[in-house]
Structure formats: structure tokens, C-alpha cells
Chains A and B, each alone.
Chain A
Amino acid sequence: QSVLTQPPSVSGAPGQRVTISCTGSSSNIGAGFDVHWYQQLPGSAPKLLIFADSNRPSGVPDRFSGSKSGTSASLAITGLQADDEATYYCQSYDSSLGEMFGGGTKLTVL
């Protein structure tokens, strides 16, 4: 069981907007540590999608956005596309446990 809690799955139709939550605690997200998001396509290594809560690395479309409030963070994907189908992981630092990942959320595009 991950210290950072994500819903196991979310789904949406093409063109829709979906959000993925990442809930932590006062020893990680709530302590002000940055949250990063990774996208893992089937059979591939994870790829950095969002860093420091809300910043996109070069090359990531602005359909992807991140936010953070209190002990939680969220990833939003707008204009859903078929090739967005992947598993998404949040990552932060925990003052007791070190670097932590969420359990992952599998996005299905209907």
C-alpha cells in the first residue's frame, strides 16, 4: 500500500477531461515537498510529464496540467486522446521514507 494514494483507474471518452488525484500526508505533500507526475505507456519506461506540481517539461502538450493543495495533488488531462491511454504515477518525497511513488492510475480512453 503506497503512502501516496491514487485511484486505481479512471476513464473518459475522447475529447473529455479527466483528473487523477494523489493524496498524501503531512510528512510528504503536506510538508511542501514537490509533486511530479509520470506517464507509463504499456511496455515502456515511465516518462516525466509534470514536475514541481504544475510545470511541463519541454515537449509535453499543454493538455496536461498539474496542481497541488494541502496534502493532495491532481493531474488533469483535457482533450483526451487514444494515445493518452497509460498508467500515471505521482511522486513526491517523504520525510521518513524518502522518494515515494503513488500506486498508479490506469487511464482508459473509451
Chain B
Amino acid sequence: QVQLQESGPGLMKASETLSLTCSVSGASIGTSDWSWIRQSAGKGLEWLGRIYTRVNTDYNPSLKGRLTMSVDTSKNQVFLKLNSVTAADTAVYYCARDHGLCVNSVCYDVFDIWGQGTTVTVSS
């Protein structure tokens, strides 16, 4: 059973760099792609970015170069770094497995497993 567990600082100050870790159990991170998704209080979901084939990344253009994602295969962990945070970055941050579900030999990339999320609050 694949499980994801996010961890992070909880509370931080504006202009600092946010660092989050997603610890994966039950599967090797090399076998799937991984995304970070956040949800602001009372608001919807925002996809932040994905890391695939361990080193390649796609980022949400709205983050304007502030985001970096990486992995440590020896620890089976996925990382997120977000520079120059503001109050607008306050949210619950989820990591999700970006995985192919197949039907009739056609596979579709979906966020099939999610962590429980970690809350990040940015104070000014």
C-alpha cells in the first residue's frame, strides 16, 4: 500500500524559503512521477509542479521561477522549495503520486494517491 507523508515548518515568515518533504512508503519513487498541489483556506486546489524521471520538472507558470522540486532516491523522498514566500503562499500543501492508470491498453496520468497534507502559514 503506497503512502505519502508530507512534513514542513508549519509557521514561517514572509521572504523566507519554504522547504517541504514528502516521504514515500510502499513504492519506489523512481517508478512514478510526483506532484505538489496546494489548497488555500476555503479555496480550491492549485497544482504547483511535477518531477518526473527523477530529474525533469514542470512548474506552474504562475510561480514565476520561485519553485524547485527534487528527489532523493536513497531516502525515497520528494522535496519542494519555494522562495520568497508571502502570505499568499499560506495553504495546505499536498504531495501526490502522478501515476498512469490504464484502460484497454491506454494509460492516463492522474493524481491517484495523495498525502494527508501539511499546513504552512506565512506571517508578515
Listed in ascending order, the chain A residues whose CB lies under 8 Å from chain B are 2, 34, 36, 38, 44-48, 51-52, 55, 57, 89, 91, 96-104
Contacts and interface: CB of A to CB of B under 8 A. Distances in A.
B16 interface: no
Nearest to B115: A45
B58 A51 contact: no
Given A45-B116, A98-B58, A98-B61, A52 B44 contact: no
B50 to A, nearest CB: 8
Contact of B60 (A36, A51, A91, A97): A97
Nearest to A2: B44
Nearest to B59: A98
Contacts of B106: 52
Nearest to A101: B45
Contacts of B108: 34, 36, 51-52, 55
A-B complex: 9 closest residue pairs judged by Cβ atoms: A99-B47, A45-B114, A101-B45, A52-B108, A104-B44, A51-B110, A103-B44, A48-B112, A55-B103
B34 interface: no
Interface of B: 35, 37, 44-47, 50, 58-62, 94, 101, 103, 106, 108, 110-112, 114-117
A82 B56 CA distance: 43
Main SS class of interface, B? strand
Contacts of A99: 35, 47, 50, 60
Given A89-B44, A100-B47, A48 B110 contact: yes
Given A45-B117, A97-B60, A51 B101 contact: yes
Contact of A36 (B37, B50, B110): B110
Contacts of A47: 114
B114 A46 contact: yes
Contacts of B61: 96-98
A84 to B, nearest CB: 19
Contacts of A91: 45, 111
